[in-house]
């Protein structure tokens, strides 16, 4: 039996406003519990919400970036349920008139094609607080610090057909919201959270199977694992004659499994109704145009420009534009090193630099090797001052804070030897020291050329220009096995 | 001095015939003497009041006084007052001391008023007789066997009994106008959005409006002047210039068109009371107004629509009273559910629980279409009725209630009978219109209220009409015998 997976994702992106969505309290992360909750956030009697215009602006910006419809009227609704960290007993959210409707993004598939993933809606809402179950001797602590933080809930269409596609979509979305500077994308701190609706059906079946909502999947890796686990669970269930139950399941990353949280029968009736404390939001075309002016170059457009302007492959351009900071760094390197260094710059940024950043867990904006420093290094390779191999040593030294490429080359005496006489002298010395190998080479063992190159290179301390060395060595030895 | 109006007291203070401290002390003494009988106050803030009075006297001495400087008032106990108990007449908030002032409280304080205390009310403003208060019912000063009306019964009774010349109140379905009518005082519910709701404990957000009760239209104008205007903390508050209400009081009524809605003079109005209203209409005719009959065809649906919308909003607004952060919490909860169930079960009274259940049901997905959305459609029709009527006339006039104050306990066993006492007042809330009740006469020694309803933001005209009537008649100066 062939099965098809159907996935839709709901992403909660925390918007980077300075104050909360309906109050003036700060949204900064990490302050002591309950220190950033004002009377409105605490739902003190008589307090009222007032919409933060910046949150609306960010939502509209997102809508414009995904080619969505921005209705001229949007309505906030109350989602009613009791929970200790939900101070008002309802969450202000949006129900049937969200601020963004019907957009899409494109993802790259493994076979090299692209696929359009629909985004049904994106709506604004406030976050709840946190319940803390540890350290309170059997009691529960409530931290309302996060209560009222603005969220944009982004709901995809059920267009995703595998865990890999889900991850590609999520990464693309992550890149987009950070490009737009509306979300910091920090998954560990919960700024970018994902729930997945997963179902399976027989290939060719026009109807969707029963879906299960997976909660608590807070990294790209877990999304893939959780979905794959869930898909297998559902297929096993169906193939053994069982049925999938519509329910919410929690992903346990430690055990790599999903567990039932609540079934549909237990689902709450949220009694949505328009919030009478907030008038419908009227979004004028002037407002939309003012937001459009703030749109940066978006990832797809930047990728296409990188391919065109720097002659990069689609893959390289994709990697380099995966974040706005990486793309900015790359362009700064090319600006400083020269257009002819576009390809080497891509290789170095994606290779040595990314490797070092990953190894040390450093963000590109805090890289000890600046774009200008890397550009100088590329120029020294290009003008034959150093070889590519020596350049790696210089890079490591720069990374350790020893100075610029020129300073390190000078201090360590790494300047490449390009003087023909000096190289010839070293060749002569090596050949004289290895008469037996010279005999063997001449009698046909051509691969010994590499051995001689290595010996001369060693003698030069790695500084002999490799191209010159090869050429001069061939001249001295004559061809092998005549 | 306790039977003087705010305008008169203001003049006396300005002329230094009286100090704010003397005035405050005299009224505190009256509260001391009569509150045991009336139960109009939940909290009396004597010390704070005398301190405010001293500061007011300083302002007056420096020549920095405004019309309200040194004028004692009371706030209904659903207005948050910084550092002063704010109970909403509920066990749920029996211990709640807000750290902030409602915008109305802050603005009146800014104007120099002296707060004598917090007045009793129906619990969470849900009631029409003041009998649902956790602190016991308020008595009507005209007959202490009778209710003062509700929910602003404490404010109305305190003003009628001369304990205070003016008081704030709120009106969600008639909570200012009905008690004003029952107690023989003047009450104004402004247009929805005219006065900030910030800091008023919400009952039904789309209907609640901060209001005032006083002994004359002129006093209402003085108080409204200080309260009205845009507040950025209330998204439903309208950013519209506030006119000078006192300046328009004397306008002649020649050519003003007064509409008598047919539906306000049919069933449910006692004949004796109807005669009082008819006499008042004659008075307006003499004052130069044109009288016309109009129709509000959907008025009969108002009570039903209101009793879906108001409880629906209340069911959500009152969800915050969960025993977690403030207010009443049950003893030794076993677990979270027990904490919720018992804190709310023990903290709320019967009428509040009834409305929360009705409202919760109206919002369930299963009933939303047939209950909540239908009620909203009716609300729109009622609104349109008024818009049509106001094409023909400038003001609508009718009785505030169908009968004078009823006896304590008379309707408390029958919620529907109780709800129907608001049949003439509810529509103005549904349409967001300003409405004023003023004393128009008496039936069997009990005051009768006449209601004026105006166009949106046309409070000035209502005050003008009420003032002219009060200049031509004396009904607003008649005081209950035992409290003269």
Domain ranges in chain A are 3-290, 299-412, 420-477
CA distance A253 to A274: 38
Residue-wise pLDDT tens digits, A250-301:
998 888 888 888 777 667 899 999 999 999 999 999 999 999 999 999 999 9
Q: Is the CB of B312 less than 8 angstroms away from the CB of A273?
A: yes
Rounded average pLDDT over A339-363: 95
Q: Least CB-CB distance to B235: which of A42, A51, A273?
A: A51
Q: Least CB-CB distance to A276: which of B102, B206, B318?
A: B206
B171 and B308 housed in the same domain: no
Residue-wise pLDDT tens digits, B414-429:
988 899 889 999 999 9
A420-477 topology per CATH: Arc Repressor Mutant, subunit A (1.10.10)
CA distance B135 to B122: 9
Annotated catalytic residue, options B10, B76, B129, B196: B76
Q: Is the CB of A276 less than 8 angstroms away from the CB of B313?
A: yes
Residue A43: its chain B contacts at CB < 8 A?
320, 325
Residue B80: its chain A contacts at CB < 8 A?
44-46
Query: Domain for residue B386, yes or no?
Result: no
Query: Domain for residue B407, yes or no?
Result: no
Residue A273: its chain B contacts at CB < 8 A?
312, 316, 363, 368, 372
Residue-wise pLDDT tens digits, B199-247:
999 999 999 999 999 999 999 999 999 999 999 999 999 999 999 999 9
Nearest CA in chain A to B320: A88
Active-site residue flag, B343: no
Residue-wise pLDDT tens digits, A92-115:
999 999 999 999 999 999 888 999
Query: Domain for residue B412, yes or no?
Result: no
Q: Is the CB of A47 less than 8 angstroms away from the CB of B199?
A: yes
Beta-carbon contacts below 8 Å between A and B: 100
Mean pLDDT taken over chain B: 97
- Percent of chain A's residues with pLDDT above 70: 98
- Percent of chain B's residues with pLDDT above 90: 96
Nearest CA in chain B to A22: B233
**Higher pLDDT pick, B35 / A423:** B35
Residue A50: its chain B contacts at CB < 8 A?
232-235
Q: Is the CB of B360 less than 8 angstroms away from the CB of A142?
A: no
Rounded average pLDDT over A176-182: 96
CA distance B197 to B66: 24
Residue B316: its chain A contacts at CB < 8 A?
78, 80, 89-90, 271, 273
CA distance B443 to A72: 55
Query: Domain for residue B293, yes or no?
Result: no
Is pLDDT above 70 for B1?
A: yes
B80 and B196 housed in the same domain: yes
B212 and B341 housed in the same domain: no
Is pLDDT above 70 for A480?
A: no
Residue-wise pLDDT tens digits, B53-112:
999 999 999 999 999 999 999 999 999 999 999 999 999 999 999 999 999 999 999 999
Q: Least CB-CB distance to B98: which of A45, A50, A87?
A: A45
- Shortest Cα–Cα distance, A271 to chain B (Å): 5
Pairing of strands A150-156, A192-202: unpaired
Sign of CA dihedral B55, B59, B61, B66: negative
B97 interface with A at CB cutoff 8 Å: no
Q: Looking at chain B from residue 345 to 364, which residues have their Cβ under 8 Å from any Cβ of chain A?
A: 360, 363-364
Query: Domain for residue B385, yes or no?
Result: no
- pLDDT tier at A482, thresholds 50, 70, 90: very low
- pLDDT tier at A181, thresholds 50, 70, 90: very high
Mean pLDDT taken over chain A: 92
Residue B364: its chain A contacts at CB < 8 A?
269, 271
B334 interface with A at CB cutoff 8 Å: no
B63 and B134 housed in the same domain: yes
B251 and B185 housed in the same domain: yes
- How many other CB atoms are there within 10 angstroms of residue A265's CB atom? 8
- Percent of chain B's residues with pLDDT above 70: 100
Q: Which of B455, B347, B434, B451 is nearest to B399 (CA)?
A: B451
Residue-wise pLDDT tens digits, B438-474:
999 999 999 999 999 999 999 999 999 999 999 999 9
- pLDDT tier at A467, thresholds 50, 70, 90: confident
Is pLDDT above 90 for A389?
A: no
Last residue of a domain, one of B318, B347, B380: B380
- Shortest Cα–Cα distance, B454 to chain A (Å): 23
Query: Edge-to-edge strands of the sheet including A77-80?
Result: A90-93, A77-80, A273-274
B30 and B150 housed in the same domain: yes
CA distance A455 to A206: 69
Q: Is the CB of A87 less than 8 angstroms away from the CB of B320?
A: yes
B234 and B354 housed in the same domain: no
A82 interface with B at CB cutoff 8 Å: yes
Active-site residue flag, B133: no
Residue B336: its chain A contacts at CB < 8 A?
84, 140
Cβ neighbours of residue A173 closer than 8 Å, sequence gap 6 or more = A11, A13, A105, A154
Query: Domain for residue B392, yes or no?
Result: no
B33 and B83 housed in the same domain: yes
Q: Is the CB of A84 less than 8 angstroms away from the CB of B336?
A: yes
**Which pLDDT score is estimated for A422?**
87
Annotated catalytic residue, options B133, B151, B155, B315: B151
Rounded average pLDDT over B102-127: 98
Q: Is the CB of B316 less than 8 angstroms away from the CB of A271?
A: yes
B135 and B23 housed in the same domain: yes
B80 and B180 housed in the same domain: yes
Q: Inter-axis angle of helices A371-382 and A405-412, to 10 degrees?
A: 50
Q: What's the structural domain count of chain B?
A: 2
Rounded average pLDDT over B159-173: 98
Last residue of a domain, one of B380, B400, B433: B380
**Which pLDDT score is estimated for A30?**
76
- Shortest Cα–Cα distance, A166 to chain B (Å): 32
In which domain, by residue range, is B214 found? 6-257+469-483
Rounded to 5 degrees, what angle do the CA atoms B163, B168, B171 make? 125
Query: Domain for residue B436, yes or no?
Result: no
A38 interface with B at CB cutoff 8 Å: no
B103 interface with A at CB cutoff 8 Å: no
- Shortest Cα–Cα distance, B101 to chain A (Å): 10
- Shortest Cα–Cα distance, A243 to chain B (Å): 27
**Which pLDDT score is estimated for B266?**
84
Is pLDDT above 60 for A140?
A: yes
Residue B319: its chain A contacts at CB < 8 A?
80, 82, 88-90
Count, residues in chain A: 482
User: What six digits make up the tokens of A55?
Assistant: 């949150």
Residue-wise pLDDT tens digits, A4-19:
999 999 999 999 999 9
Cβ neighbours of residue A441 closer than 8 Å, sequence gap 6 or more = A448, A449, A452, A477, A480
Q: Least CB-CB distance to B319: which of A42, A90, A269?
A: A90
Cβ neighbours of residue A373 closer than 8 Å, sequence gap 6 or more = A398, A404, A405
B326 interface with A at CB cutoff 8 Å: yes
Residue-wise pLDDT tens digits, B250-274:
999 999 999 999 999 987 899 999 9
Residue with tokens 């689902």: A267
Last residue of a domain, one of B354, B380, B406: B380
Q: What is the CATH number of the domain that holds B200?
A: 3.90.1300.10
Q: Least CB-CB distance to B235: which of A47, A87, A278?
A: A278
B335 interface with A at CB cutoff 8 Å: no
Q: Is the CB of B93 less than 8 angstroms away from the CB of A45?
A: yes
Q: Residue A168: helix, strand or coil by DSSP?
A: helix
Is pLDDT above 70 for A311?
A: yes
Residue B78: its chain A contacts at CB < 8 A?
46
B172 interface with A at CB cutoff 8 Å: no
Annotated catalytic residue, options B19, B129, B152, B175: B175
Active-site residue flag, B90: no
Omega into B151 within 30° of 0, i.e. cis? yes
B47 and B148 housed in the same domain: yes
* Cβ-count burial B142-168 (b if 16+ within 10 Å, e if not): bbbebbbbbbbbbbbbbbbbbbbbbbb
């Amino acid at each position: 039996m062939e099965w098809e997976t159907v996935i839709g994702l709901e992403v909660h992106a925390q918007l980077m406003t300075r104050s909360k969505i309906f109050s003036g309290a700060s949204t900064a992360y990490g302050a002591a519990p309950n220190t950033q909750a004002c009377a409105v956030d605490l739902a003190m009697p008589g307090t009222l919400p007032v919409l933060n215009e910046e949150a609306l602006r960010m939502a509209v910006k997102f809508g414009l970036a995904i080619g969505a419809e921005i209705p001229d009227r949007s309505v906030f609704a109350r989602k009613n349920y009791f929970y200790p960290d939900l101070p008002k007993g309802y969450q202000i959210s949006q129900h049937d008139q969200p601020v963004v409707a019907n957009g899409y993004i494109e993802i790259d598939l493994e076979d090299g094609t692209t696929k359009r993933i629909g985004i049904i809606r994106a709506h604004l809402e406030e976050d709840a607080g946190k319940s803390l179950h540890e350290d309170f001797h059997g009691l529960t602590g409530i931290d309302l610090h996060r209560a009222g933080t603005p969220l944009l809930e982004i709901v995809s269409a059920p267009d995703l057909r595998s865990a890999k596609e889900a991850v590609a979509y999520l990464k693309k979305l992550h890149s987009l919201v950070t490009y737009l500077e509306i979300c910091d994308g920090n998954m560990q701190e919960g700024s970018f959270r994902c729930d997945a609706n997963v179902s399976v059906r027989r290939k060719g079946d026009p109807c969707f199977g029963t879906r299960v909502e997976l909660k608590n999947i807070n990294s790209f890796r877990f999304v893939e694992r959780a979905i794959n686990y869930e898909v297998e669970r559902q297929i096993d269930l169906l193939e053994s004659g069982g049925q999938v139950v519509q329910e919410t399941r929690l992903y346990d990353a430690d055990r790599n499994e999903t567990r039932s949280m609540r079934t549909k029968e237990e689902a709450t009736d949220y009694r949505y109704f328009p919030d009478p404390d907030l008038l419908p939001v009227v979004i004028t075309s002037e407002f939309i145009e003012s937001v459009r002016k703030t749109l940066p170059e978006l990832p797809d457009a930047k990728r296409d420009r990188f391919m065109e302007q720097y002659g990069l492959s689609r893959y390289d351009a994709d990697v380099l534009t995966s974040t706005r900071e990486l793309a900015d760094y790359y362009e700064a390197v090319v600006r400083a090193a020269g257009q002819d260094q576009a390809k080497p710059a891509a290789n170095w940024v994606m290779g040595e630099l990314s490797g070092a950043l990953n190894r040390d867990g450093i963000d590109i904006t805090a890289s000890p090797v600046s774009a200008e420093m890397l550009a100088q290094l590329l120029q020294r390779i290009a003008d034959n001052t150093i070889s590519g191999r020596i350049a790696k040593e210089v890079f490591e030294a720069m990374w350790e804070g020893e100075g610029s490429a020129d300073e390190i080359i000078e201090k360590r005496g790494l300047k490449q030897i390009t003087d023909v006489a000096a190289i010839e002298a070293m060749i002569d010395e090596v050949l004289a020291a290895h008469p037996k190998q010279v005999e063997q080479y001449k009698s046909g063992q051509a691969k010994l050329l590499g051995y001689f190159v290595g010996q001369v290179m060693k003698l030069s301390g790695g500084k002999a220009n490799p191209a010159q060395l090869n050429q001069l060595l061939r001249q001295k030895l004559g061809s092998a096995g005549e | 001095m306790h039977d003087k109006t705010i305008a008169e007291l203001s003049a006396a203070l300005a002329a230094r015939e009286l100090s704010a401290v003397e005035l405050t002390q005299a009224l505190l003494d009256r509260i001391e003497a009569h509150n045991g009988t009336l139960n109009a106050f939940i909290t009396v803030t004597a010390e704070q009041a005398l301190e405010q009075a001293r500061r007011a006297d300083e302002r007056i001495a420096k020549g920095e006084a405004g019309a309200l400087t040194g004028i004692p008032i009371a706030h209904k106990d659903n207005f948050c007052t910084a550092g002063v108990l704010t109970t909403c007449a509920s066990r749920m908030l029996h211990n709640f001391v807000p750290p902030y002032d409602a915008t109305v409280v802050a603005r009146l304080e800014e104007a120099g008023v002296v707060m004598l205390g917090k007045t009793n009310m129906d619990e969470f403003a849900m009631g029409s007789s003041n009998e649902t208060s956790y602190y016991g019912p308020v008595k009507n000063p005209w007959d202490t066997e009778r209710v003062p009306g509700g929910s602003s019964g404490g404010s109305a009774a305190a003003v009628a009994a001369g304990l205070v010349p003016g008081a704030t109140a709120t009106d969600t379905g008639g909570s200012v106008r009905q008690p004003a009518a029952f107690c023989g005082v003047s009450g104004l519910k402004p247009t929805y959005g005219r006065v900030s709701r910030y800091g008023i404990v919400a009952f039904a957000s789309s209907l609640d409006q901060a209001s005032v009760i006083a002994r004359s239209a002129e006093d209402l104008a003085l108080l409204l002047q200080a309260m009205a205007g845009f507040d950025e903390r209330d998204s439903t508050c309208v950013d519209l210039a506030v006119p000078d209400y006192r300046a328009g009081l004397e306008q002649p009524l020649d050519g003003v068109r007064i509409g008598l809605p047919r539906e306000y003079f049919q069933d449910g109005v006692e004949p004796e009371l109807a005669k009082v209203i008819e006499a008042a209409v004659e008075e307006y005719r003499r004052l130069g107004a044109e009288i016309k009959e109009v129709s509000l065809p959907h008025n009969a649906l108002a009570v039903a629509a209101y009793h879906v919308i108001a409880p629906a909003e209340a069911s959500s607004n009152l969800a915050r009273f969960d025993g977690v952060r403030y207010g009443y919490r049950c003893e030794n909860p076993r677990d979270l559910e027990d904490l919720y169930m018992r804190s709310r079960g023990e903290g709320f009274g019967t009428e509040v629980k009834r409305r929360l259940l009705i409202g919760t049901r109206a919002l369930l997905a299963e009933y939303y279409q047939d209950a909540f959305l239908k009620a909203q459609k009716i609300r729109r029709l009622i609104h349109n009725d008024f818009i049509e009527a106001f094409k023909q006339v400038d003001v609508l006039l009718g009785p505030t209630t169908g009968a004078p104050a009823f006896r304590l306990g008379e309707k408390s066993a029958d919620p529907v009978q109780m709800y129907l006492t608001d049949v003439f007042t509810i529509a103005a809330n549904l349409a967001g219109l300003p409405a004023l009740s003023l004393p128009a006469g008496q039936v069997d020694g009990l005051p009768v209220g006449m209601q004026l309803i105006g166009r949106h933001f046309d409070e000035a005209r209502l005050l003008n009409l009420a003032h002219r009537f009060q200049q031509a008649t004396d009904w607003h100066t008649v005081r209950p015998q035992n409290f003269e």
